[in-house]
């Protein structure tokens, strides 16, 4: 049974309705594109880093409620963090929605609002919707410092 109430918790509904950090970042230092063919989610990720710190991040594109809410929550979560901390958060988040066992208290605390997406693991088809933005963030973080952009 697919129980919408369980999956689309209040936080997810809120972040889907009014996504945070939505829109192009004009002074991005790294840009990456993400696509989830299973669902059709598409997003562009704009990243601005300074000395390995994510000073700003935004996204745009179109996708399902889960993918938009996840990108919104993710951008909120990694802003101000170092690349290394963002990588760690990705690991924790990945564990949260992939592992059978529930994460420990410490992990849940570091995840903060991202924990709202924990219910996604009951719907394997939706896991890629939730992780798309993270994979896109990772490719942006690993990308060239100089963005492939034309003025
Ligand atoms: Zn999706």
Domain with residue 21: its CATH number is 3.90.1010.10
Indicate the number of domains in the chain: 1
The pLDDT mean for the chain works out to: 87
Residue environment code for 124-136, b if the CB has 16+ CB neighbours within 10 A, otherwise e: eebbbbbbbbbbb
- Which of helix, strand or coil describes residue 69? helix
Which regions in the chain score pLDDT beneath 70?
1-8, 144-151
Position 111 in a domain: yes
- Domain enclosing residue 38, as ranges: 4-146
Distance from the alpha carbon of residue 106 to the mean position of ligand 1, in angstroms: 29
Position 151 in a domain: no
Distance from the alpha carbon of residue 35 to the mean position of ligand 1, in angstroms: 10
What pLDDT sits at residue 143? 79
Position 141 in a domain: yes
Position 136 in a domain: yes
Q: What is the three-state SS of 76-125?
A: HHHCCCEHHHHHHHHHHHHHHHHCCCCCCHHHHHHHHHHHHHHHHHHCHH
What pLDDT sits at residue 145? 45
pTM: 0.87
What pLDDT sits at residue 54? 98
Position 33 in a domain: yes
11 vs 8: CA distance, rounded Å:
8
What pLDDT sits at residue 1? 44
């Amino acid at each position: 049974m697919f129980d919408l109430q369980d999956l689309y918790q209040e936080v997810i509904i809120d972040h889907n309705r009014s996504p945070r950090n939505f829109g192009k970042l004009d002074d991005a230092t790294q840009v990456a594109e993400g696509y989830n063919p299973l669902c059709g989610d598409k997003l562009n990720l704009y990243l601005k880093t300074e000395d390995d710190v994510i000073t700003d991040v935004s996204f745009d594109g179109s996708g399902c409620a889960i993918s938009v809410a996840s990108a919104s929550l993710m951008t909120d979560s990694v802003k101000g963090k170092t690349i290394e901390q963002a990588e760690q958060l990705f690991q924790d988040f990945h564990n949260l929605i992939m592992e059978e066992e529930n994460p420990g208290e410490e992990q849940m605390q570091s995840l903060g609002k991202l924990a709202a997406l924990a219910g996604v693991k009951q719907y394997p088809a939706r896991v890629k919707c939730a992780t798309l933005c993270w994979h896109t963030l990772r490719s942006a973080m690993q990308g060239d410092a100089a963005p492939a952009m034309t003025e």
